[in-house]
Structure 1
Amino acid sequence: MPADRPHAAPPPAPVPPAPAPPAGAPTGPSARRRRARLLVPLALLIVWLGLGGAFGSYAGRLGEVATNDRAAFLPRSAESTEAARLGADFRADNAVPVIIVWESRGGPLDGTGRAAAEQALRSAAALPGATGRVSPALAAADGQALQGVVQLRADLGRETGDAVRAVRELAEQIPGTTVGLAGPAAIAADLGGAFAGIDGLLLGVALGVVLLILLAVYRAVLLPLLVILGAVFALGIACALVYLLADHGLVTVDGQVQGLLSILVIGAATDYGLLLSARFREELHLHGDRFAAMRTAWRHSVEPIAASGATVALGLLVLLLSDLTNNRALGPVGAIGIACAVLSALTFLPAALLLAGRAAYWPARPAADGRAPVHAVWARVAELVARRPRALWAGSLLLLAALAALAPTLDAGGVPQSELFVKAQPSAAGQRLLSAHFPGGSGNPAVVIAAADRAALVTAAAAAVPGVAAVRATTAGAPGAAPLVVDGRVRLEATLTDPADSDAAIATVHRLRDAVHAVPDARALVGGYTAQQDDTRTTAAHDRRLITPVVLLCVLAVLVLLLRSLVAPVLLAATVALSYLATLGVSAVVFPHVFGFSAVDPSVPLYGYVFLVALGVDYNIFLMTRVREESLRLGTREGVLRGLTATGGVITSAGVVLAATFAALGVIPLAFLAQIAFIVAFGVLLDTLLVRSLLVPALVRDLGDRVWWPAGTGRGGLRAASASASASSASASAAASAEAGPVGGPGSGG
C-alpha cells in the first residue's frame, strides 16, 4: 500500500475540466436562475442584520441583571450557606457594613481625634445610601488607630461605589491620620469598579485583537470583517437570551460569567468561521461556481462544527452538576453562547461569503485553477511526521508527562483577599490597615446562628475556642443591649485572631464548629467569610472529582458518533487531557514565580479543564474529520498527511485567535479571570502547536488503519467506505460541473 511508505503529502491532483458542451447548448445557469439562487443567502443576511439590530445592544446590557454579591454564589448545600440565609433575617435594615480605619501618622490618637471620628461617623449616617446606623469609634489596643462601622443599604447595586467614596471623603477630613476602608461594602465597590470594563473594554479589546490577527494571517480586507460581524451577531443574540433568563430569575449572572460568555462566543464563532471560510476558499480553487464551492464547503464543515459545538456545550452543561452556584450559572449561559456561535457560523457566514464570492478574499482572489492550495510550511511538517512518527509521538508524550508531573503542586486552596485583585485596590489596603491594629479577623468575623435559649452556652463555647478573640451577639439597638431574637434564633459574631483568609483562621473555624455543634439542642451553624472559603474549597474539590469524568465521557460520546470508531476518540481525549495536566504543571510554576499568585481560586482548575478539554478537542475534530475524509480515498497513513497539510494553517490560526481572545480577560483586574486567561490561552497554544500538529498526526501515522477500529479494522471497512465515498463524490462532482458550466464561463458566479 503506497500510504505505508513514509513521504510527504503530495499536492492534490488537478481536477480535469468538465467536457465542453455541444455547440449551441447553454453554458451555465440562466441569469434568472443565478438571481434566484441569491435569494436564499440574501434573505438569511437580511434576517441576521435584523437580529443584530434588534439584539446587538444586549451585549452591553447584561450588567443590568448581573449581581456581584459574592454571597449569591456560595455552595448550595454548605453549612455556611444556610448560616448566611438565616443570618440575613437579622439585618432588618438590609445593611452591608463598610469599616473605616483611622491610623495615626504621629503619636497615639487623643480625645480630639476620637471626637472627630465620632463626628465623621454621625455625618456618614446621613449620607445617601446609608441606613442611618453607625457604630461608635473604637480604639485599638496600641492606641495608634480607631475603627468605626457605617451600614450601607444592600440594594445599592452599582451605586455602592459612590456611597463608599462618599464615606471615604468624610473620613479623610480628620487631620493627621491615614484612612482605610474595609469590609463587605468596600470589597463590593472594588468589584464593581473591576467589572465596569466588562461591557466595553473587554469586548473592544477581544474584537480588536481578533481583527488584527485575522488581517495579519489572511491578508484580506473583507473576510476578517465578515467573521467578526458573525461573532458580534452571535454574541448579541446570546446576551439577549441570557438577559431574558436572568431577568426572570432562571439563571444567575455575575461579572465573571458575563466576561466568560463574551470570550467564549467571540472565540468559538471566530474558530468556526475560519474553518468554513478556509474550506470555501479551497473549494473555490476547484470549482468555477461559487454555489457549488459553498455546497461542498458547507457539507464538509457542518459535521465538525456541529460536533465541536456539541462538545463545548455539553461540557459546559455538565457544570449543572456542581454544588457551586457560579459554576452552575456558567453552564447554561455558556451553552447558549456556543449554540449561537454555531448558528451564526452555519447560516450568516455562508450567506455572506456566497454574496461576496471571491471578493471576500481580496486582494488574493482564489483562482478556479482546479488545484487546491498547497501550504508549504505544513507540507514540511507532514514530511517530518511521515519520516519519524514514532520519535515524534514518544518525545511529545515525554514532554507533556514531565510538565504534567508538576500539576499536583498547584495550590487551589483559594485566593487570599490581598490577591483578589491583580492591581492594588483600596479594600485590600484597608484590610491590611485594619489587621495591623486590631485582631486579624476584624471586619470578617465568623458568624454563629444558634437557638436563642442556648445563646449563653454557645457564646461560652465559642469564646473558649483557641483563635477566637471575642464573641458578641447581634443586638436590636446599641452594643450591650439584649440580643436580637428572630424565629427563636440569635446571631453571634466571633472575631478571629488570625486574618480571615489564612489557613490558621480556617483551622479556627473547624474548632469553632466542633465546639458549638457539641452544645445540646443549640442547632448551631457557623458561617462568615472564612467558613465560606473553606466550604467553597471543599465543594470545588468534590465538583472536580464528579464533573471531570462526566465531561470526558460526553466528549468521548460525541467523538465516537463523529468518527465512527473507538480507538481514535480515546486517543484524542487522552491527549487533550494530558495537555490539560501539562498546562496545570506550567501554571504551578508560573503563577507564584511570575505573576505572584500564592494560590488559585478553587474553581479555576475545573473551569480550565472544561474549557481546555472541550475546546482542545475542537481542533482534533477539525483535523480528524479531514483525515477521515482523505483516508477514505488514500488510506490512513497517507490521509493523515494530507489532512494535516490541508488543515494545519486554519487550525493554527484558530488556536492563536482563541488564545488571544481568552488572554483579553487579563484587562479585567481580577485574579480569577487572570488565572483562567493564562491557563486557557497557554493550554490552547500547547494543544494547537504540539498535540494537534505533531502528537496526534504521528500517533495516527504509526497506528494506520487500526485507529478507526472497529469500523476501519485493517483494510476492510475503510476500503468499503472508500469505494462508496468515491462513487458519491464522483456523482456530486459531475452534477456540480453540469450545473456550473466550464470554469470561468458564464456560470462561474464568482
Structure 2
Amino acid sequence: MGAGKATTASKRRRRAVPWAVLGLWIALLALTAPFAAKLADVQHDRVTDYLPASADSTQVAKIQEQLPGGESTELVLVYHREGGLSGADRETAARQVEEIADKHELVGRTDVPEGVPSDDGTTLMYPLVSNEPGTDEELRDALVEDVRGIAHGQDARDGLSVEVGGTGALATDAGKVYDSLGGPLLYTTVAVVALLLVLIYRSPVLWLVPLVVAGVADYLSMGVAYGLNQTFGTTVSGQSSGVMTILVFGAGTDYALLLVSRYREELRRVERPYDAMTAALRGCGPAVLASSGTVAVGLLCLLAADLNSSRGMGPLGTVGVLCALIAMLTLLPAILVLLGRRVFWPLVPAFGSEPKQRRRNLFAAMGSSAGRRPLTVLATGAVLLGALALGTLNLPGPVKQEDSFVDKPEAVTAMETLARAYPQHGTQPIDVIAPGERADRALAAIRDTRGVESAEKGRTGDGWTEISVIARDAPQSAGETATIRALRTELEGSYVGGASAQQIDLEDTNSRDTKIVVPLVLVSVLLILIGLLRSLVAPLLLVAAVVAVWGAALGIGGLVFGPVLGFEGTDPGLGLLSFVFLVALGVDYGIFLMHRMREESLAGAEPVAAALTALRTTGSVIASAGLVLAATFAVLTNMGLVQLVELGFVIAVGVLLDTFLVRTYLVTSASVALRRKVWWPGALSREPGEGGRSGEPTEPPRQPERVAAP
C-alpha cells in the first residue's frame, strides 16, 4: 500500500510540476510586461551613448547639453550646379537661408549667415548652427526636416542641387537606420530561426515550441534591460538592444537544440516524458549552464571598456543570454513534457526503439578521417586558418562618418559634394568648450593655432563658453587631425570635440579597450572551462581554436569588405566586439563536444572512441546550432550601417568556420592525437590502473532503460 501511495504521489508530481512552472512564467510575464513596453522610451542613439566615457569629445557633448538651448545642431546647406552657379541660383540660396534664419535661432549671428563659395564657382556652402531651446533628438530631427523642406522647396531651380548635410543631418539620417533595428530586425530574426527549425526538426509542431519560448525570453529580457537602465543607468542604444535580441534567439535556440536532442534520445530509453526530461536536463544541463556562463562572463568583461557603446552592450547581452538560458531550462521543458511525445510527430521517438541509422553519417565519416590521420588533419587546418588570417592585412582603415552608411543618405552626399568642391577646406566645425573666464584667451590661442581657418564664440553658460572652429583641411584628413591634436595640446583646461574629434577618440579608446578587455575575456573563459572540464590542456585547446577562428573570420572580412562590398573603412570597434562574441559563443560548441567526450570517458570508453563517439552524437546538434546562430547574426548584414554589417558578417563567418571546421575536424583531431593527455592533469589523464587508480570513478556503459508504467 505504501508503494501504491508513493506511485500516486509520483504521478501527481509529474503532472503538477510542469503546470506550476508554466503558471510561474505567466505570472513573471505579467509582472514584466509594463517594464518591457517602456524599453523603447529609454533607448537613445545620442552621440554620448557611443563615445568614450572619459574622452574630450564626450565632455564637449555633455557640456553642450547643459548650455542655453541644449546641444547645438550643426547643419551645412550645399548649393551646387555643374558648370557654375548663376546669379539666380545665389538669389535662391540667399532667400532660403534668410527664411531659415527667420524661423530658427542660429548661433553667434544676428543676421543672415554668409555663404562660402568654392573656387570653381560651382558650389555655395552655408554653415548653420542652431541652439533653439530644448534641442533634443526629436526637435533636432524636426529642425533638420524643416530645413530640408525649405531647401527642397519650390524656389529651387532645375539643375540646381540643394542638399542639407552636417553633423545634425548625419545624426538624423543615422537615427532612421537605428529605428529600423527594432521591428524589422526582430521580424527577420524570427523568420530566419523559424525556417531553420522547420528544416532541422521536420515537424509541423515542434519548431514552434522553442521559437515561442525564445520570444518569451526576449520579452523578459526587455523588461530586465529597462530595470537595469532605471536602477544603474545602463546605456540602451539601438545597437545594444538589437544585439540582445539576436543573442536571445541565437543562443536560446542553440540551448533548445541541445536539450531537445538529448530529450529525444532519453525518450527512447525512458517511458514517461517527465522522467525522460529529468534525465535530459541532468545530462546536458551542466554543458548548457557552462556555455551560457561563458558567454555571460565574456560579455560582462565589456564593462571594463571605456567606450560607452561597448560597455552598454555587455550588460544587455548578458541579460539576453541569461533570460534565454532560464527560459530554455524551465519553460521549454515544461511545455515539452505537457505536450508529450506527440510534439515530435511525425518522427515520434518510441520507447525502446533505436534511432534510424543513416547509411552514411557525415560526422562519423569526418571523425573517421580525423581518427586515421589526426596530425595531418590538424596541420592542414592550422595552415588554412593561418592563410585566411592574412586577409586582415587587407582590412580598410577606420571608417569615416560619411562612409558608415550602406545606402548613402542626403547628409553623406552633401559631404561628398563639399569634399569635391572644397578639397583643401574644412567643412564641419570643431567644437571647443573653454572656461568662461578664459574664453577670450582661448579664442586668441585657437586663431593662432596652425591649421585653423576661423574661430567664433557662440553660447555661454554654466561657466563655459562654446567656440566654433573651422579647420583649413578637409574633415577627418591627416591635416585636420593634426589641428585637433594641436588644439588639445595648446588649450589647457578646455575640451575639443565635434565629429572629427569624436572619430579620433573612438579609434584611440578602442585600441585601449582591446588591450584590457581581450586578456580579461581569455582568463575568464579559461577559468570556466578549467572548472567544467577539470583539465588544463582541453581548455587551452578550445581557447586557441576560437582565437584562430576569430583571426580567420577577420581575414575573410578583409577579403570581402573592400573588394566585394565596396566599404571604405572598418568600424574601430570591430576587432574587440567580434573577439568577445566569437570567443564566448565559439567556446559553447567546444563545451558541448568536450563535455560529451568527458561523459564517454567516464563511462569507460577509450580516448579515441570517446572523441569519435562525442563527434558522432553531438555533430548534428552542433551543426544545427551553428547554422542557427550564424543565421541570426547574418541578419545584421541586412541593416543599413556599415559597422553592423561588418560585425554580423565576421561573427556569422566565424561561427560557420568554428562549427564545420574547427569543432568537427581540428578539436577532434587534437583530442585523438593527445589521447588521455587532453585531460591533463585531471584523473582522466591517467591510464587505467596507473597509481592504483583507473582515473575517476567510472560508470558502466548505459543500456536502454525500460521503465514500466504504474
What TM-score, normalized by structure 1, do the two folds share? Answer: 0.86
Residue in structure 1 matched with residue 151 of structure 2 by the alignment? 171
Match for 1:695 among 650, 666, 673? 666
What root-mean-square deviation, in Å, do the aligned CA atoms of Structure 1 and Structure 2 show?
A: 2.9
Q: How does 1:194-205 map to 2 (within 5 A)?
A: 194-205=177-188
- In the alignment, the residues of structure 1 paired with residue 172 and residue 559 of structure 2 have an alpha-carbon distance, to the nearest angstrom, of 32
Residue in structure 2 matched with residue 527 of structure 1 by the alignment? 497
**Matched residue of 1:595: which SS?**
coil
Question: Are the structure 2 counterparts of residues 39 and 183 from structure 1 closer, same or farther at C-alpha, using a change threshold of 3 Å?
Answer: same
Once the two structures are TM-superposed, the CA of residue 109 in structure 1 deviates from its matched residue by: 4.2
Q: How does 1:324-723 map to 2 (within 5 A)?
A: 324-371=307-354, 374=357, 376-411=361-396, 413-438=397-422, 442-451=426-435, 455=439, 457-474=441-458, 484=460, 487=463, 489-514=464-489, 516-517=490-491, 522-632=492-602, 633-711=604-682, 712-716=684-688
Is the 2:73–2:167 Cα contact (8 Å) retained in structure 1?
Answer: yes
Match for 1:234 among 217, 222, 225? 217
- In the alignment, the residues of structure 2 paired with residue 248 and residue 36 of structure 1 have an alpha-carbon distance, to the nearest angstrom, of 39
Question: Are the structure 2 counterparts of residues 57 and 191 from structure 1 closer, same or farther at C-alpha, using a change threshold of 3 Å?
Answer: farther
Match for 1:289 among 244, 269, 272? 272
**Matched residue of 2:561: which SS?**
helix
Is the 1:626–1:643 Cα contact (8 Å) retained in structure 2?
Answer: yes
Is the 1:320–1:328 Cα contact (8 Å) retained in structure 2?
Answer: yes
Once the two structures are TM-superposed, the CA of residue 626 in structure 1 deviates from its matched residue by: 0.4
- The aligned amino acid for 2:15 is L
- In the alignment, the residues of structure 2 paired with residue 27 and residue 678 of structure 1 have an alpha-carbon distance, to the nearest angstrom, of 59
Q: Structure 1 residue 147 and structure 2 residue 104: aligned?
A: no
Question: Are the structure 2 counterparts of residues 654 and 441 from structure 1 closer, same or farther at C-alpha, using a change threshold of 3 Å?
Answer: farther
Unaligned runs of 5+ in 1: 1-23, 477-483
- In the alignment, the residues of structure 2 paired with residue 709 and residue 596 of structure 1 have an alpha-carbon distance, to the nearest angstrom, of 48
- In the alignment, the residues of structure 2 paired with residue 93 and residue 388 of structure 1 have an alpha-carbon distance, to the nearest angstrom, of 68
**Matched residue of 1:726: which SS?**
coil
Question: Are the structure 2 counterparts of residues 256 and 246 from structure 1 closer, same or farther at C-alpha, using a change threshold of 3 Å?
Answer: same
Residue in structure 1 matched with residue 240 of structure 2 by the alignment? 257
Is the 2:52–2:308 Cα contact (8 Å) retained in structure 1?
Answer: yes
Is the 2:68–2:461 Cα contact (8 Å) retained in structure 1?
Answer: no
- The aligned amino acid for 2:697 is S
Question: Are the structure 2 counterparts of residues 291 and 141 from structure 1 closer, same or farther at C-alpha, using a change threshold of 3 Å?
Answer: closer
Q: 360-369 or 640-649: which moved more?
A: 360-369
- In the alignment, the residues of structure 2 paired with residue 509 and residue 31 of structure 1 have an alpha-carbon distance, to the nearest angstrom, of 79
Is the 1:463–1:471 Cα contact (8 Å) retained in structure 2?
Answer: yes
Once the two structures are TM-superposed, the CA of residue 333 in structure 1 deviates from its matched residue by: 1.2
- The aligned amino acid for 1:399 is L
Is the 1:311–1:555 Cα contact (8 Å) retained in structure 2?
Answer: yes
**Matched residue of 1:594: which SS?**
coil
- In the alignment, the residues of structure 2 paired with residue 95 and residue 723 of structure 1 have an alpha-carbon distance, to the nearest angstrom, of 68
- The aligned amino acid for 1:463 is R
Is the 2:193–2:632 Cα contact (8 Å) retained in structure 1?
Answer: yes
Identity fraction in percent: 34
Is the 1:109–1:145 Cα contact (8 Å) retained in structure 2?
Answer: no
Once the two structures are TM-superposed, the CA of residue 494 in structure 1 deviates from its matched residue by: 2.0
- In the alignment, the residues of structure 1 paired with residue 226 and residue 191 of structure 2 have an alpha-carbon distance, to the nearest angstrom, of 25
- The aligned amino acid for 1:499 is A
Q: How does 1:725-744 map to 2 (within 5 A)?
A: 725-726=698-699, 737=706, 740-741=707-708
- In the alignment, the residues of structure 2 paired with residue 82 and residue 669 of structure 1 have an alpha-carbon distance, to the nearest angstrom, of 29
Is the 2:64–2:70 Cα contact (8 Å) retained in structure 1?
Answer: no
- The aligned amino acid for 1:509 is I
- In the alignment, the residues of structure 2 paired with residue 222 and residue 497 of structure 1 have an alpha-carbon distance, to the nearest angstrom, of 65
Once the two structures are TM-superposed, the CA of residue 511 in structure 1 deviates from its matched residue by: 3.1
- The aligned amino acid for 1:435 is A
Is the 1:317–1:331 Cα contact (8 Å) retained in structure 2?
Answer: yes
Q: 430-439 or 534-543: which moved more?
A: 430-439
Deviation digits for residues 717-738 of structure 1, max 9, x if unmatched? 99967773416x87xx89x75x
- In the alignment, the residues of structure 2 paired with residue 283 and residue 159 of structure 1 have an alpha-carbon distance, to the nearest angstrom, of 59
- In the alignment, the residues of structure 2 paired with residue 554 and residue 208 of structure 1 have an alpha-carbon distance, to the nearest angstrom, of 34
- In the alignment, the residues of structure 1 paired with residue 437 and residue 201 of structure 2 have an alpha-carbon distance, to the nearest angstrom, of 74
- In the alignment, the residues of structure 2 paired with residue 485 and residue 369 of structure 1 have an alpha-carbon distance, to the nearest angstrom, of 80
- In the alignment, the residues of structure 2 paired with residue 348 and residue 364 of structure 1 have an alpha-carbon distance, to the nearest angstrom, of 23
- In the alignment, the residues of structure 1 paired with residue 256 and residue 34 of structure 2 have an alpha-carbon distance, to the nearest angstrom, of 22
Question: Are the structure 2 counterparts of residues 196 and 418 from structure 1 closer, same or farther at C-alpha, using a change threshold of 3 Å?
Answer: same
